[in-house]
A and B are shown apart, each in its own frame.
Chain A
Amino acid sequence: MSAIKEMPMAKAITAALRDELAADQKTLLIGEDIGALGGVFRVTDGLQAEFGTHRVIDSPLAESGIIGACIGMAMRGYRPVAEIQFDGFVFPAFNQITTQLAKMHNRTDGKIKVPVTIRIPYGGHIGSVEHHSESPEALFAHTAGLRIVAPSNPQDAYWMTRQAIVSDDPVIILEPKRRYWLKGRVDMENPAPDAFRAQVLREGTDATIATYGPLVPVALAAAEAARADQRSIEVIDIRSISPLDDETIARSAAKTQRLVVAHEAPTFGGMGGEIAARVAERAHPRLLAPVLRVGGFHMPYPPSSQEHRYLPDIDRMLEAVERSFSYQRGV
């Protein structure tokens, strides 16, 4: 059997979970409906049958309970992997994640490690009802002690999941649910790059679009479309939100001299602002325009019948690129 397989992202995550469950007896999965049902997105499909009800645990309907119990299990030497059913339902666990999970290692002066992985299907564009399309990354990124990654393709999904589980730090994996069915090659033998590094996915010379998770395919399509206008766009998959690989992003921005950062989350107070500030610090003299942001609006996630206007698409990215070209320096 070849080590390279073609599969959708959801299946790549299933494979990663299976491989980690098999590799380490101390790895456990816990979440709502993850057993017989295999999770509402079927990401844990078949794992309970394979590993038993005590390794793949159907939890009570209690998000704070899931994360709090994961902390206790991790204190005792386990590597629990929690599934939060939907992004909008992580907030009942916000307290456990931010005041307990994130701080435990620090407040015990390094004596307690809590290697908990939290998988959250996140983001919009699945036409769902409210609280099913949230992008909470900035809320967690602001909390020291957490690591946050967002895969954008099956290969990354597989390896980031494995790297997250073996990390001794708490890691939140934001799984772009609209990409669960996106197919791609997964090389099960040759790891993807370090989960906590950004990656240049497409080289370009005129401007850079940096994004992560669900918008990576959109950025690649935007770059392709810009070619028709003789614009060469570099695309960066940010991959890791905390730590943020600002160096890779700034290097690209210094090269192309224009940067657009895109995410689904609202721009106000979001990761885009953080990245803009960091890139400005590192590459200010090289930039021909301010770093521009493309993202959601400062409103609760709208009813999904309107999400096509709320979410960044190819045109919104291209508009930002063009706006970047409209700036003139030194006038």
Chain B
Amino acid sequence: MQPQEVQPIQLLAPDGTLAENEVYSPYIAALSAEELRELYRHMAVERRLDAEATSLQRQGQLALWAPAQGQEAAQVGTIAALKPTDMVFPTYREHAMALYRGISPEQLLTMFRATRHTGWDPREHNFQVYTLVLAAQTLHAAGWAMGINQDLRMGSIPRDRAEDEIVVACIGDGATSQGDVHESMVFASSYELPMLYFIQNNHWAISVPTRTQSRGPLVNRAQGYGFEGVRVDGNDVLASYAVATRLSGEIRAGKGPKLIESVTYRMGAHTTADDPTKYRSSQELELWEGRDPIRRYRSWLSSTGDADESFFEQVDADAKDLASDMRKSVLALEPIDLERVFDTVYSEPHRQVEAEKAWLKDYEAGFAEETNATEAGTTR
């Protein structure tokens, strides 16, 4: 059987022309010129940050970097459709979404510089910490959504919201093969949770193509769990925004979980440890370069008269400043003290942890005494 194709929702063609769509165009028409410009700004800033992070890694300043180049529209379009109170459970490549939520570049890069596991407080940004065990967070998202429903039932809304709060679980195409995604979708469907699954199908899971994860479009999976899925052109920021706006509205209205398969492309390497030339062709990359989300949007945006050359120049200059500031602040990141790591293994005192912490302190103090003694010896 041939896998069934599903045409993604697209409003903006790669050449920058906008098509009419009965369902989705109204969402775009409702955006102000300022909001339209902001979409561009967010995408451009992420791309610049991404390039800077890649070079920091090359210079040995980051342990790893997972570039999101090519996925800016998918992420910015989707997060722009959410409310700031909606909790997002990311994987590890949602940099544009993180920045959109006010996470600073150095907070974002903290884990990648390996000074700490986490750079930000999830509650401040309603953006959970990155998860490296693929798909584990999709269940945490389901639990969070169960909590929303509990809050509503008990009338005990803890954070002055929940009324129309939704949860977003991000996953890659590769991660959709993990059992946790299945269990999460079963929970979401059975308990009618206010959840949006946001799959970024960037065509590759490291070196393995999407067809090894699924012969049919990933969007079709939603149906099997009994909820709606929409396939969208993830390189089209306007379609991404419109689809996410419509679906999140339906979830808020109590219609249960929804799924977006955002068809996009990871233009760079999987991470800085990867060599994409080993598994993908240059023709494929060229094809997707022709569908670049930022160039496409820029071309349309300037055609509307809502943004002129000076705007784009200003964004480029701002992005450049951000990148150089980021370099300084990232290099200045202080590593967490191992004592602090001991202190957060448990919330409450734990005998073995305390004993080991005390032992390390004594042990290291022994060295300090020795060093002092030797130093004293040399001066004598």
For residue A68, give the distance in angstroms from its CB to the closest CB of chain B: 2
In the bound complex, residues from chain A placing their C-beta under 8 Å from that of B209 are none
Docked pose: A106 CA to B122 CA in angstroms: 14
Whether A68 touches B184, Cβ cut-off 8 Å, given contacts A60-B190, A105-B345, A243-B352, is yes
Docked pose: A237 CA to B276 CA in angstroms: 58
In the bound complex, residues from chain B placing their C-beta under 8 Å from that of A243 are 350-353
Interface residues of B (CB under 8 A from A): 116-118, 121-123, 128-129, 131, 133, 136, 138-151, 153-154, 156, 158, 179-180, 183-184, 186-187, 190, 336, 340-341, 343-348, 350-353
Select A72's contact among B139, B183, B350, beta carbons within 8 Å. Answer: B139
Docked pose: A115 CA to B347 CA in angstroms: 9
Interface residue A205 (Cβ < 8 Å from any Cβ of B): no
Whether A106 touches B187, Cβ cut-off 8 Å, given contacts A72-B140, A77-B158, A243-B351, is no
In the bound complex, residues from chain A placing their C-beta under 8 Å from that of B140 are 68-69, 71-72, 75, 100
Docked pose: A208 CA to B147 CA in angstroms: 48
In the bound complex, residues from chain B placing their C-beta under 8 Å from that of A247 are 351
Task: Tell whether, in the assembled complex, residue B351 and residue A245 are in contact, meaning their CB atoms are under 8 Å apart.
Answer: yes
**15 pairs across A/B with beta carbons < 8 Å?**
A54-B150, A62-B186, A65-B180, A68-B140, A68-B183, A71-B139, A72-B144, A73-B147, A75-B128, A80-B143, A105-B345, A111-B122, A169-B346, A169-B347, A243-B350
Task: Tell whether, in the assembled complex, residue A108 and residue B117 are in contact, meaning their CB atoms are under 8 Å apart.
Answer: yes
Task: Tell whether, in the assembled complex, residue B341 and residue A106 are in contact, meaning their CB atoms are under 8 Å apart.
Answer: yes
Select A109's contact among B118, B147, B153, B187, beta carbons within 8 Å. Answer: B118
Task: Tell whether, in the assembled complex, residue A73 and residue B346 are in contact, meaning their CB atoms are under 8 Å apart.
Answer: no
Docked pose: A244 CA to B351 CA in angstroms: 7
In the bound complex, residues from chain A placing their C-beta under 8 Å from that of B183 are 60, 62, 64-65, 68
Task: Tell whether, in the assembled complex, residue A147 and residue B346 are in contact, meaning their CB atoms are under 8 Å apart.
Answer: yes
Select A70's contact among B143, B341, B346, beta carbons within 8 Å. Answer: B143
Task: Tell whether, in the assembled complex, residue B146 and residue A68 are in contact, meaning their CB atoms are under 8 Å apart.
Answer: no
Docked pose: A67 CA to B146 CA in angstroms: 13
In the bound complex, residues from chain B placing their C-beta under 8 Å from that of A60 are 183, 186-187, 190
Whether A72 touches B143, Cβ cut-off 8 Å, given contacts A110-B344, A242-B352, A243-B352, is yes
Docked pose: A75 CA to B184 CA in angstroms: 16
In the bound complex, residues from chain B placing their C-beta under 8 Å from that of A169 are 346-348, 350
A29-46 interface (Cβ within 8 A of B): none
In the bound complex, residues from chain B placing their C-beta under 8 Å from that of A115 are 347
In the bound complex, residues from chain B placing their C-beta under 8 Å from that of A106 are 117, 341, 344-345
Select B146's contact among A64, A69, A108, A242, beta carbons within 8 Å. Answer: A69
Task: Tell whether, in the assembled complex, residue B147 and residue A99 are in contact, meaning their CB atoms are under 8 Å apart.
Answer: no
Interface centre among B118, B121, B146 (most CB of A within 10 A): B146
Interface residue A85 (Cβ < 8 Å from any Cβ of B): no
For residue B256, give the distance in angstroms from its CB to the closest CB of chain A: 15
Q: Binary interface profile of A, 44-85, with partner B (CB < 8 Å = 1, else 0)?
A: 000000000010000110101101111111111110100000
Select A76's contact among B136, B158, B345, beta carbons within 8 Å. Answer: B158
Docked pose: A96 CA to B139 CA in angstroms: 9
Task: Tell whether, in the assembled complex, residue B190 and residue A147 are in contact, meaning their CB atoms are under 8 Å apart.
Answer: no
In the bound complex, residues from chain A placing their C-beta under 8 Å from that of B187 are 59-60, 62, 65, 69
